[in-house]
Amino acid sequence: MSLYEQSLKDLHKLLQKKEVSSLDLVEESFKRIGEVDGSVKAFLTLDEENARQKAKELESKGPATILSGIPIGIKDNIVTKGLKTTCASKILENFDPIYNATVIDKLDQAKMITIGKLNMDEFAMGSSNETSFYQVTRNPWNLERVPGGSSGGSAAAVAAGEVIFTLGSDTGGSIRQPAAYCGVVGMKPTYGRISRYGLVAFASSLDQIGPITRNVEDNAHLLQAICGLDPMDSTSANVEVPDFAKGLTGEIKGMRIGVPKEYLGEGVGEAARNSVKAALEVLEKQGAVIDEVSLPHSKYALSAYYLLSSSEASTNLARFDGIRYGYRSENAEDLIDLYKKTRAEGFGDEVKRRIMLGTFSLSSGYYDAYYKKAQKVRTLIKKDFDDIFEKYDLIVGPTAPTPAFKIGEKVDDPLTMYANDILTIPVNLAGVPALSLPCGFDNGLPLGLQMIGRHFDEESIYKAAYAFEQATDYHKQRPAL
């Protein structure tokens, strides 16, 4: 049996007893990548020499924490010192960072081992992993299907058994939607729970780093390791970091769960709707109290999100100009020409589309009509969540309206592609935490259940997700790669 069929707890015991070593785990990861990544295409860069060296150094010391010696893959928009970080874009094809993101330093403190960097949609802009400049990642459950995006490489690597842990980032569903498509567990924590220092920004008021794993308990351990206040990020919150795994008792009697009628209405596929209803019955049998609720402004979330995120993207991506780092056009005649040609040649179509939309909505004469109005809608969406959380502990619904679609099926239809995030986007606008976990299959393709909690109450989400997971076996299913 593959070592990666084991849970984190079991691997930790094996490491403690010295029945396996950190180097064994690293070698297992590279072996599996060699076997399947030619088909899946999850990794962009591997760090074999450093990973093996770190594993050998850890061998003599024994595991200091439950995460010690465990290999992990990192989404390629999280900077890693001395390891290429491209954001899956031509404009950063040779960017070699001189510092680590805070989350990478925290993983180092926990003695985890970085295996390599994972493919994504360019600058995290996309829902299918098809906007990457380098390669299209494929869904391990069906290689003709997308893995979701933008953290598609992160989700596909876990589903394919290349690593048991990855980090992704979530701006409007970019951890949860690929987790649903690939049948794994993905957590988008509360905005501010994790430092964004060293995360290449797409939309600074929405982005959040989070863990992708095979099961809920492993996810809780990884989240705990990367949380906390960071003086390098003024938006990171000074709140206590609880022991998330400690509350995983399987006991949810009396927990109040709201199910938004909008999340099971028009546009949500029958398979997704039925799998969520079946999941709610499981939770009800375990003692949860379930009621229908309403998020009346969620229908405006998609429009507000694309205006706000594109506006922030147009500002954040202004730094990529061919002057300080990254790609530089060879054909420029003067400075202005250098800016124009570098950006025209270095950015892909989807990134250009969002820069143009954002620049337009921030421009004089349109700011009040678009950007400012979208911010007001965002406030109303947040209030909808606040109102429900006065009476309920969790909100539950599908993660995505359908299972993974075919590669190439929607890439030329941006509006349809954007609509794939309709169930995840409101969470980012409100800044609340949410998790996706497997809850069923449709023609052999995984479906995801989304659990949404109050600000800084990831504990309740993990508690309910663990109880559901213990009562079902969806998380034990593996793709036949």
| pLDDT tens for each residue of 111-123 | 999 999 999 999 9
- Closest Cα to residue 321, out of 336, 310, 299, 302? 336
pLDDT of residue 233: 97
Q: What does the block give as tokens for 152?
A: 């598609």
Lowest mean pLDDT, pick from 54-68, 75-89, 179-193, 344-358: 54-68
In this prediction, residues 204-218 reach a mean pLDDT of: 97
- Residue-level pLDDT at 1: 52
The first and second tokens of residue 94, run together, are: 């040779």
Q: Is 116 helix (H, G, I), strand (E, B) or coil?
A: strand
β-pairing, 185-188 vs 208-213, is: antiparallel
E strands along 156-288, which residues? Answer: 165-170, 185-188, 208-213, 256-260
Phi and psi for 14 in degrees, rounded to 5? -65, -40
Span 136-147, average pLDDT: 98
Structure tokens at 32: 């599996």
Q: CA-to-CA distance for 457 and 463, rounded, in angstroms?
A: 10
Q: Which of 400, 402, 393, 382 is nearest to 291 (CA)?
A: 393
Name the more confident of 94 and 105.
Answer: 105
| Contact between 222 and 462 (Cβ < 8 Å) | no
Q: How many CB atoms lie within 10 A of CB 454?
A: 21
Distances (CA, A) of 415 to 21, 181, 393, 411, 425: 48, 19, 33, 10, 14
User: How far is 117 from 138, CA to CA, in rounded Å?
Assistant: 16
**Tell me, what's the pLDDT at 63?**
78
pTM greater than 0.75 (yes/no): yes
Q: Which two tokens stand for residue 116?
A: 């390599």
Q: What contacts 38, CB < 8 A, 6 or more positions away?
A: none
pLDDT digits (tens, 9 = 90+) for 284-312: 999 999 999 999 999 999 999 999 999 99
Angle at 338 between CA 334 and CA 343, to 5 degrees: 160
> How high is the pLDDT of residue 2?
75
Q: pLDDT class for 481, splitting at 50, 70, 90?
A: confident
* Active site residue ranges: 75, 150, 174
Q: Are the C-beta atoms of 419 and 306 separated by less than 8 Å?
A: no
The rounded Cα 72 to chain-centroid distance in angstroms is 14
Q: Which domains does the chain have, with CATH numbers?
A: 3-254+393-476 (3.90.1300.10)
Contact 131, 125 (CB under 8 A): yes
Taking the C-alpha atoms of residue 271 and residue 283, their distance in angstroms, rounded to an integer, is: 18
- Rounded to whole angstroms, the Cα distance separating 249 from 407 reads 40
